[in-house]
Structure 1
Amino acid sequence: MANNLTYALVHEWLTPKATGGSELVVREILKCIDAEVYALIDFESTNPESYLFGRSIGTTFLQYFPLARNGVQKYLPFLPLAIEQLDLRHYDIILSSSHTVAKGVITTPQQLHICYCHATMRFAWDLTFDYLAHSFMGKGIPGIITRYLLHRLRQWDVLTANRVDYFIANSQHTASRIWRYYRRKAEVIYPPVNIDRFSYQTNKEDYYLIVSRLVSYKKVSLIVQAFNQLKLPLIVIGTGPELPKIRQLAQPNVQILGFQPDAVVEKYMANAKAFLYAAYEDFGIAPVEAQACGTPVIAFGAGGTLETVRDIRQHPESGTGILFAEQSVTAITDAVKTFVTYEMKFSPEVARSHAANFSPDIFQQRYLEYIDRCYHQKQNKLPESFPF
């Protein structure tokens, strides 16, 4: 690829509270590509603890809206309009990191736009009815307005898929969603997991572990209820709107530690007997982090975990966990009992080796190779025959 190409990297929002998998992808991209960064809002370039501190980052009018620092999801109707105001005409290659609207930036036919899709807009598609059921905006007259806004958002979402030249998905699961909603094929490149951050431990202690944001779709309350029945030791690390509910549910065998610093999380992850995960995620980094510690995973067998966790019942020599078929107390209870039966057959070395497949080095290599391939394909095609 030519060395004189200019790059713009577009992400949805950059705030101290946004520290998930998509932000890790942004960080790794910037390690290997000299790109100028754009986002709907940015409060990281002024955060001394951020790797983006002091960096010049382009933003939108949402930057100046009240309470934007706490997230712009509250301004959902304005997100499509805002992302379209970013002027990226002077760049050769646009790299979007998208789970909501970043892919909707406006580009020219001469530019190459590659979107790394962390998730399709789930609250507007398959989680619509969950979103409406758990939001005060889903009922009465506000509910009618919300349904109309989501309808228009789905139309915009499909329309803007045509602004992307090439899609990358963070899992086969996400790739299937991209095809379902946009009828576009996507290359699968798994996101980077900083496995070196987690210490490998072969001797485990007698407790099970959850590390999660405490929000409804993570289904942490189901795990707590299951352990209430099992009477086995469970430690829950994390905070969120469901924290009071989970504290109320927990019996004495369940410890709720709330928010903990990274060093504490890493220690508990390394020493846990098993890691519990009941969320339905497009990828899910936490189960891979657990495996990096040599810790087996008991997880809901849907979405990304089907690609990151190997059920020992199907993979006797390379199993890294137990998968359960539904998000229910009964299924989780049965899965933990099954884990106890197979516990001595799990190999910490196998789990660590499997986690290495998701290392940052592998991500960077595959990502750069794919951009190079896309660039040459675009250069070698006539405009009228270029496939969108």
Structure 2
Amino acid sequence: MKIAIVTDWLNSKGGAEKVTQHIAEVYPEADIYTSIYKAENFPAFKNRKVYTSFINKLPFVHKLHFLYLFIMPYAFENMNFDDYDLVINSNWACSKGIITNVDTKHIIYMHNPTRYIWDDCHKYLAQYNVPKFIKFLAKPFLSKLRNWDFVASQRNDGIICNSSAVQKRIKKYYHLDAKVINPAFEDRKIKIKEKKENYYLAGGRLIPYKQFELIVRAFNQNQKNLKIYGKGRLLEKLKKINTNPNTKFLGYVDDQTHQNLLENAKAFLFPQKDDFGIVAAESIQHGCPVIAYKKGGIVDIIKDEQNGIFFDEQNENSLNQAIHKFEKMQFSSKEIAKSSQQFTKQEFQSKIKAYIDKLLDEA
């Protein structure tokens, strides 16, 4: 059986790209197709055949890939999969639009219905400080893109998704039923520590929807110890609005440092509405409780007052109230770590393979 794995782009490594890698490990002979590829960021694919679209040769593509979103539907529709028996699609934007023949099974692992054209459309335009005239021009374009996206979503033989929240969005926007298989963290040797150090932790890509500004402003008020790791275009702005001498910006951290930070933190802060939240799963894997905004895929990970607590409003006061409540509670790091077992890579990969094998057997 000849297999291809397709994904939207591979230029920087985040949660969705990690899922793509985990799927690729199940099918080591599969070829990989994507619009944009930065090889040095994906050593795991060094010995794989990776095919890219013409977009990969365009200027500034790795820094400003979003400028080329309007031609990505064309790029993916023109990829040829006639020689493949099975195509597995790790999708969050336009890759769902590939066209396969009737004998080729096309299975989508959907991280989210295309975020910037559906429920978060207006929020994206606001967060990225888009000029008013571009917003005006974008509206008819986004309307046409929604029509294409809906049609593209129907070109599959089965859909898997990463959380119950995304499952609901897929039903609402695409009128399709999806099977939930939660993503996995990397398997690691971990030291579970009951005695924690006196700091809260946050981190990841420093981009607007992750709500790092909310965290910084909350800690400006409470003056508690905070460590933020990660890189992104918000870093300088976060430093400017910070007035708390106990807030430390760590920049990029390697895997071992990240692991040490999670092992020792009082709690990890997760204030965004996200599709899933693999970093929250990694936190509980390390016995670190999570203080999270109660929206999105996080509800599949955190069980209130067992491995973390929720706050209901996406603002500084609600977060600080949750922190105040958290500091009066006691958590067992060992019990928190036990709650992460459903998110192991072995569990994820066995479920993916079982779903695909069943679909192929029914064909």
Same fold (TM over 0.5): yes
Shift of 1:208: 0.7
For 1:62-110, what per-residue CA distance to the aligned partner results, in whole angstroms no more than 9, with x for missing partners? Answer: 0111112325211111010011111001101110000001111001111
Question: Match of 1:303?
Answer: 296
Question: Match of 2:25?
Answer: 31
In 2, the alpha carbon distance for the partners of 1:263 and 1:192 equals 18
In 2, the alpha carbon distance for the partners of 1:248 and 1:176 equals 38
Question: Match of 2:345?
Answer: 360
User: What are the residue-to-residue correspondences of 1:1-388 with 2, within 5 Å?
Assistant: 5-15=1-11, 18-33=12-27, 34-44=29-39, 47=40, 50-140=43-133, 142-196=134-188, 198-250=190-242, 251-312=244-305, 319-342=306-329, 344=330, 346-377=331-362, 379=363
Contact 1:238 1:260 in 2 (8 A): yes
Structure 1 pair 304–32 and aligned structure 2 pair: CA distance change class (3 A): same
Shift of 1:137: 3.6
Number of aligned residue pairs: give it.
Answer: 361
Structure 1 pair 258–191 and aligned structure 2 pair: CA distance change class (3 A): same
The letter of the residue matching 1:268 is: L
The letter of the residue matching 1:326 is: E
Structure 1 pair 215–197 and aligned structure 2 pair: CA distance change class (3 A): farther
Partner of 1:13, secondary structure, is coil
Contact 2:181 2:352 in 1 (8 A): yes
The letter of the residue matching 1:336 is: I
In 2, the alpha carbon distance for the partners of 1:48 and 1:184 equals 34
Shift of 1:162: 1.2
Q: Does 34-43 or 303-312 show the bigger shift?
A: 34-43
In 2, the alpha carbon distance for the partners of 1:71 and 1:194 equals 29
In 2, the alpha carbon distance for the partners of 1:349 and 1:136 equals 44
The letter of the residue matching 1:143 is: K
Contact 1:195 1:359 in 2 (8 A): yes
Structure 1 pair 159–49 and aligned structure 2 pair: CA distance change class (3 A): closer
In 1, the alpha carbon distance for the partners of 2:269 and 2:146 equals 33
Partner of 1:123, secondary structure, is helix
In 2, the alpha carbon distance for the partners of 1:72 and 1:199 equals 39
**Which TM-score applies when normalising by structure 1?**
0.90
Shift of 1:298: 0.4
Partner of 1:341, secondary structure, is coil
Percent identity of equivalent pairs: 32
For 1:157-181, what per-residue CA distance to the aligned partner results, in whole angstroms no more than 9, with x for missing partners? Answer: 1001110111001011111110000
Shift of 1:330: 0.7
Shift of 1:135: 3.1
Structure 1 pair 103–48 and aligned structure 2 pair: CA distance change class (3 A): closer
Contact 1:59 1:86 in 2 (8 A): no
Structure 1 pair 221–202 and aligned structure 2 pair: CA distance change class (3 A): same
For 1:270-318, what per-residue CA distance to the aligned partner results, in whole angstroms no more than 9, with x for missing partners? Answer: 1001111101101011111111110111011110111101111xxxxxx
Partner of 2:73, secondary structure, is helix
Contact 1:195 1:355 in 2 (8 A): no
The structure 1 segments of at least 4 consecutive aligned residues displaced by more than 6 Å after TM superposition are none
Shift of 1:212: 2.1
Partner of 1:42, secondary structure, is coil
Partner of 2:347, secondary structure, is helix
Contact 2:276 2:297 in 1 (8 A): yes
Contact 2:31 2:48 in 1 (8 A): no
The letter of the residue matching 1:36 is: D
RMSD after superposition: 1.4
Contact 2:6 2:90 in 1 (8 A): yes
Contact 1:131 1:138 in 2 (8 A): no
In 2, the alpha carbon distance for the partners of 1:105 and 1:354 equals 38
Partner of 2:112, secondary structure, is coil
Q: Does 27-36 or 183-192 show the bigger shift?
A: 27-36
Structure 1 pair 118–68 and aligned structure 2 pair: CA distance change class (3 A): same
Q: Does 252-261 or 195-204 show the bigger shift?
A: 195-204
The letter of the residue matching 1:12 is: D
In 1, the alpha carbon distance for the partners of 2:277 and 2:195 equals 25
Contact 2:167 2:180 in 1 (8 A): yes
Contact 1:201 1:271 in 2 (8 A): yes
In 2, the alpha carbon distance for the partners of 1:154 and 1:7 equals 29
The letter of the residue matching 1:38 is: Y
Contact 2:13 2:41 in 1 (8 A): no
Q: Does 360-369 or 253-262 show the bigger shift?
A: 253-262
Structure 1 pair 176–138 and aligned structure 2 pair: CA distance change class (3 A): farther
Partner of 2:295, secondary structure, is coil
**Which TM-score applies when normalising by structure 2?**
0.96
Shift of 1:261: 2.1
Question: Match of 1:386?
Answer: none
Shift of 1:327: 0.7
